[in-house]
Amino acid sequence: MLPVLEFWKEDGDETQPMVYLVKKISERANAYARSSAKDAVMHALVAAQLMIPGVDLTPLGEFQSLEFSTEVLTEARQAVEEIAKRFMNQLDLSND
């Protein structure tokens, strides 16, 4: 359990009881996953903005996947899979 707690350690944890810290694991793991996903999305949007100067990214904020069929979404995912792999290779996930 200690390695897991150490991974998501925050300031002030050293004064908290173990029971409190264990209860925080799922909350901190979720926050970490959300932050990592946000970083990846921002990386892709910044790349689009830089590669296509003047492009209006505002409509992307209105995207709702429920408006598209599963077939259309699957085809779109397949079309961008290679680009996504290249983006992932560029991300610095080391948190240094």
CA 15/CA 29 separation, integer angstroms = 20
Q: Which tokens belong to 51?
A: 């590669």
Q: What is the pLDDT of residues 31-58, one digit of tens each?
A: 889 988 898 888 888 888 898 999 899 8
Instruction: State yes or no: pLDDT of 94 exceeds 70.
Output: no
> What is the model's pLDDT at position 59?
87
pLDDT of 96 > 70? The answer is: no
CA distances from 81 to 32, 34, 51, 86, 93 (A): 24, 21, 18, 9, 19
Residue 71 to residue 78: CA distance in whole angstroms: 11
Q: Is the pLDDT of residue 95 over 60?
A: no
Residue-level pLDDT at 92 = 67
Q: How far apart are CA 67 and CA 83, in angstroms?
A: 23
pLDDT (average), residues 48-72? 88
